[in-house]
Structure 1
Amino acid sequence: MMPREVTGRHVLLWMVLFFGVIVAVNLTLAFYATDSWTGLVVKNSYVASQHFNEDLDRAEAQKALGWQHEFSLNGQQIIFTLKDRDGRLVPLDSVTIHAGHPAAEFQDRVIELAKVVGGPYQASNDLPPGEWNLEIRALAKDGTEWKVRYRSTIQEKGAT
């Protein structure tokens, strides 16, 4: 049996197929990468940088208050309390959690916590399993805003 002759047409066909597969895979990965997360941490980094010193001052003022918080996120409930330096509950107007999924912005949501009479603020935990960036914002009756950030992992229901 005689070996087949490799012609220029064969080489061209193999090169087109080889690079075609590479381009197709790259386009598919690029599509899924841009569809799931934009890569932006802030919408305008220049504007955000203009407020950096103000943010530091706010953080120092918050620390000077001496307020302590308790936060728990279990399978069913989100529970939050904020106490002053003497251990008394701080009277709050509202408590919200801005929950952001680090890799899929379409899952981001705001959770409003409700006051339990004589106790903490609570909400049901309806976050899907995965990693979550949580920013808790509490607004005191006197207008003081208090913030804290967490990174939490929500487990599958029934998982240990």
Structure 2
Amino acid sequence: MSNSLPARRFTGWHMTAILVAFFAVVIAVNMLMATVAVRSFGGTVVENSYVASQRFNSWLAAARTQEQLRWKDDVATDHARHVVLTLGDDAGAPVRYRTVKALAQHPLGRAADIAIAFRETAPGRYVSEAALPPGRWRLRLDIRHAGSEKHLLREID
């Protein structure tokens, strides 16, 4: 009985080449994944997680205080890309004479943060003094007046 197919024999050199190629692919994929992960993460959420955990209850109390204000807000951009914030109370009356500041952050951290100042142009309507560049932005708004304050986080295009 003879086998009509020739026997293939892998030599030590062939096995070494296969192992090197396998690990080269694994290393290349890991390097690609690590590069994508580092470039797409915009920064740390908190500098020190232990300190943040100690402040958690005070943050909850501040959030409850903000909710008791019952302000309604609307954030948008106008045709010139100025940020427009409209504030109203629970009954729909405009919330006036507030100091409004914001920090515009690119969601992926690919552009520098932009500090934004606002002026009240109509009762309860606040317009940024500077225009935002095109694109999607995350706004961290700080609204203060006479001891009351509210912090908002909004995304706009």
The equivalent position to 2:29 in structure 1, one of 22, 25, 28, is 25
1:90 partnered with 2:96: yes
- Provide structure 1 residue ranges, at least 5 long, that are not aligned to the other structure: 155-160
- Structure 1 counterpart of 2:132, which letter? N
Q: Does 1:137 align with 2:142?
A: yes
Letter in 2 for 1:139: R
Retained in 2: the 8 A contact 1:74–1:125?
no
1:140-160 Cα distance to aligned partner (Å, 9 max, x none)? 2x24221122345x3xxxxxx
Query: Where does 1:47-126 land on structure 2 (aligned, <5 Å)?
Result: 47-73=51-77, 76-85=81-90, 87-101=93-107, 104-107=108-111, 109-119=113-123, 120-123=125-128, 124-126=131-133
Equivalent runs, 1:140-151 vs 2, <5 Å: 140=145, 142-151=146-155
Q: How far off its partner does 1:27 sit? A: 1.5
Q: Which moved more, 1:17-26 or 1:2-11?
A: 2-11
What is the identity, as a one-letter code, of the residue corresponding to 1:137? D
Deviation at 1:29, TM superposition (A): 1.9
Residue 3 of structure 2 is matched in structure 1 by: none
The verdict on how the C-alpha distance between 1:105 and 1:43 changes in structure 2, with shifts beyond 3 A counting, is farther
Contact 2:43 2:109 in 1 (8 A): no
* Alignment deviations for residues 53-79 of structure 1 (CA, whole Å, 9 cap, x no partner): 111111221222232222224673321
Q: Is the 8 A contact 2:70 2:90 kept in 1?
A: yes
Question: Whose Rg is larger?
Answer: 2
Asked if the contact 2:97–2:120 (Cα under 8 Å) also holds between the matched residues in 1, the reply is no
Matched to 2:59, the amino acid is: D
Post-superposition CA distance 1:38-62 (Å, at most 9, x none): 6732221211111111111112212
Cα distance 1:38–1:134, how it changes in 2: closer, same or farther (>3 A)? closer
Question: TM-score, normalised on structure 2?
Answer: 0.74
TM-score (norm 1): 0.72
Give unpaired runs (5+ residues) of structure 2: 1-5
